[in-house]
Chains A and B, each alone.
Chain A
Amino acid sequence: MSKYAVTVRNLLYSYPGQKGSGPDEPAVNIKDLKLEQGKVTVFRGHNGSGKTTFLKILAGLIQPDQGEIVHTSDRKTVLVQQEPYLFHGSVSQNLVWPLKFSGIGIKNRESLVREKLRLVGLEGFEKRKARELSGGEKKRIAIARALMTEARTILLDEPDANVDSATTQELEKLIRTLSDQGMSIILCSHQKSFAYRCSDRIIDLFQGSPVSHDENIFKGQYRYSDGIYSDFAVGNHMIHCPGRQGEFSTIVIPPDNISVSREAEKGAIMGSGKENRLQGTILSVQAYKEGRFTVTVDCGLIMKVRMSSSLISMLNLRESDTVRLLFNPSSVRLY
């Protein structure tokens, strides 16, 4: 079995009303994109960036003008809308409909419903009227209903929109649980923290196309210590970060806030002692935009650093050079 849940090639879609305006501005325009199986992929972007349209294309609700979408799993892909439509009737009836649609005669319907409700944390909601639930509960019921279809890929359209922070956390946990069970999840969001915490991979959409964002996002264990700085363990690496009370699962190290020096000049670096120092080899040096470059360094962690072209030529950085990265704990962002 392929390791990709979905493969997209040369996808192009414009809204019918906008087709006359020329092919310059399609709603979605994706040359080549592979989304890993069993992972959480987050599409991020502003309103109108094509996120929802892309999800609808993946769900088969919109036919693209051209291009190819290959779903690896023959089992379906189900879309959960931003504000899901729940059928009239009870929660249990809502969950049973997908079984009836597929014509599967399942004897233990009740236990299956109970199992899915437990999974989304709404045990005992069977008899409740679906349309009288709160916004967050409706979303979770809609996810449970999607799970009843035996889909292996679930598409979530802005699950974090219009819900309170407690619900957002619940949804986050649920998404991680589903992912741990091998489900592929593709969602879109424009909340940074939700995207960072949930995702295995973030893809930014701009005018319907993926753009590189070169962020350093790592998941790991946060260890709060009583002081200005705390520690965050990413695998074997310990990153100093701001000391804030709370549960954090993700750090982001902005590539603009990392300085690079030649290993040979290590003596020249002055620091407060708590600064993060990582040593590694340059994998690539690529143009970013407006005279700036992105340098990718393998320090055990793959780090991206953004720097000016003049600095690169001054330091004479090339691939497979050994360099030292330095960044202040206060620049590390916790999510």
Chain B
Amino acid sequence: MTVLGEAVRLILSGDSELYAICLTSLKFSGTSILLASLAGIPLGFLLKLKDFPGRRFILVAVNSLMALPTVVVGLLVYSLLTRSGPLGSLGLLFTPAAVIIGQVVLVLPIVTSMVYGAVSDMDPRLPETLTTLGARKQHYYLMLIKEMKGPVLAAVLAGFGRVIGEVGVSMMLGGNIRWYTRTITTTISLQTSKGEFELGLALGIILMLIAFSLNFLIHMAARNE
């Protein structure tokens, strides 16, 4: 009980490190989901609406990668960014950029696959309506995304939930460096192993709040549709 009380006190006291950690987490996750959405949403639409060489292969790859464990993504990107790796000269390992790259790799398949699924379930009357009303290329695709913003938003939020809660990628590629790449999940992991539960628990509560808000938003987005 005292641990929980201490955790709540930490949250309420406005502890600067605690909030810095949260902000870092949100920054990393926000950036990676933004990048993943920019690529994943159009890709999801393209995979369903256009037939191009390699389409089937990408589909299979995207669906398989959805189940990729975070530590495996961490390992793959680590092997690329490590000093002796092919991209080692960029010096990205243990920087925010490395975490974001890893998280994009982790979440891009999820966003793409969910958008693809949403487009597959699209009301067949929508494309017909757009065509018959004379919507051409850019209008056509813009309207498709606009009309499907519910399921598309749900895909983005699900992806965000995945990256904000993952620990493998952040730990392996960020290195859990204090005031730099330390995130909510890496802190919880560290504090727990040190046997100091207060900060970890406080962050856990915040993480739960974020998860709760996300689910609420997904629910609202789905209902809107």
Residue ranges of A at the interface with B (Cβ–Cβ < 8 Å): 56, 59-61, 76, 78-79, 81, 83-85, 87-88, 97-98, 100-102, 145-146, 149
User: Are B139 and A101 interface neighbours, CB within 8 A?
Assistant: yes
Give the residue name and chain of the A residue nearest to B126 (CB): A85
Interface residues of B in 129-165 (CB under 8 A from A): 129-136, 139, 143, 146-147, 149
Distance of A39 Cα from B126 Cα, bound (Å): 28
Residue ranges of B at the interface with A (Cβ–Cβ < 8 Å): 123, 125-126, 128-136, 139, 143, 146-147, 149
A60 CB to closest chain B CB (Å) equals 7
Across chains A and B, the number of contacting residue pairs, with CB separation under 8 Å, is 48
Contacts of A84 in B (CB 8 A): 125, 129
Given contacts A60-B131, A87-B146, 9 further A-B contacts (CB under 8 A): A59-B132, A60-B132, A88-B149, A97-B143, A98-B133, A98-B134, A100-B139, A101-B136, A149-B133
B151 CB to closest chain A CB (Å) equals 12
User: Are B123 and A145 interface neighbours, CB within 8 A?
Assistant: no
A71 CB to closest chain B CB (Å) equals 13
Known contacts A85-B123, A87-B147, A97-B143; is A61 also within 8 Å of B135 by CB?
no
Distance of A18 Cα from B149 Cα, bound (Å): 35
Distance of A102 Cα from B133 Cα, bound (Å): 9
A61 CB to closest chain B CB (Å) equals 5
User: Are B129 and A85 interface neighbours, CB within 8 A?
Assistant: yes
Contacts of B133 in A (CB 8 A): 78, 97-98, 101, 145-146, 149
Give the residue name and chain of the A residue nearest to B140 (CB): A101
A150 CB to closest chain B CB (Å) equals 10
Contacts of B143 in A (CB 8 A): 87, 97
Distance of A81 Cα from B127 Cα, bound (Å): 12
Contacts of A102 in B (CB 8 A): 134
Q: List 12 A-B contacts (CB under 8 A).
A: A61-B131, A78-B132, A81-B129, A83-B125, A84-B125, A85-B128, A88-B149, A97-B135, A98-B133, A101-B134, A145-B133, A146-B132
User: Are A85 and B134 interface neighbours, CB within 8 A?
Assistant: no
Give the residue name and chain of the B residue nearest to A155 (CB): B132
| Most-contacted residue by chain A among B128, B133, B143 (CB, 10 A) | B133
Distance of A149 Cα from B136 Cα, bound (Å): 14
Contacts of A61 in B (CB 8 A): 128, 131-132
Name B's interface SS. Answer: helix
B136 CB to closest chain A CB (Å) equals 7
Top 6 A-B pairs ranked by shortest CB distance? A85-B125, A85-B129, A101-B135, A79-B132, A101-B134, A98-B133
Distance of A76 Cα from B135 Cα, bound (Å): 12
User: Are A81 and B136 interface neighbours, CB within 8 A?
Assistant: no
Distance of A98 Cα from B132 Cα, bound (Å): 10
Distance of A98 Cα from B131 Cα, bound (Å): 10
Contacts of A56 in B (CB 8 A): 128
Contacts of B125 in A (CB 8 A): 81, 83-85
Distance of A78 Cα from B146 Cα, bound (Å): 22
User: Are B134 and A149 interface neighbours, CB within 8 A?
Assistant: yes
Distance of A306 Cα from B132 Cα, bound (Å): 42
Distance of A146 Cα from B131 Cα, bound (Å): 12
User: Are B147 and A88 interface neighbours, CB within 8 A?
Assistant: yes
Contacts of A88 in B (CB 8 A): 146-147, 149
B52 CB to closest chain A CB (Å) equals 20
Distance of A85 Cα from B125 Cα, bound (Å): 6
Contacts of A87 in B (CB 8 A): 129, 143, 146-147
Distance of A59 Cα from B134 Cα, bound (Å): 11
Distance of A87 Cα from B149 Cα, bound (Å): 12
Give the residue name and chain of the B residue nearest to A142 (CB): B129
Give the residue name and chain of the A residue nearest to B133 (CB): A98
Distance of A33 Cα from B131 Cα, bound (Å): 25
Contacts of A100 in B (CB 8 A): 139
Contacts of B146 in A (CB 8 A): 87-88
Contacts of A101 in B (CB 8 A): 130, 133-136, 139
Distance of A145 Cα from B130 Cα, bound (Å): 11
Distance of A90 Cα from B133 Cα, bound (Å): 17
User: Are A76 and B134 interface neighbours, CB within 8 A?
Assistant: yes
Contacts of A78 in B (CB 8 A): 132-133
B24 CB to closest chain A CB (Å) equals 36
B119 CB to closest chain A CB (Å) equals 15
Contacts of A81 in B (CB 8 A): 125, 128-129
User: Are B128 and A79 interface neighbours, CB within 8 A?
Assistant: yes
Distance of A76 Cα from B129 Cα, bound (Å): 14
Give the residue name and chain of the B residue nearest to A100 (CB): B139
Contacts of B135 in A (CB 8 A): 97, 101
Give the residue name and chain of the A residue nearest to B132 (CB): A79
Distance of A79 Cα from B147 Cα, bound (Å): 19
Distance of A307 Cα from B155 Cα, bound (Å): 68
Distance of A149 Cα from B134 Cα, bound (Å): 8
Distance of A287 Cα from B134 Cα, bound (Å): 46
Give the residue name and chain of the A residue nearest to B134 (CB): A101
Distance of A149 Cα from B135 Cα, bound (Å): 11
Contacts of B132 in A (CB 8 A): 59-61, 78-79, 146
Distance of A84 Cα from B126 Cα, bound (Å): 9
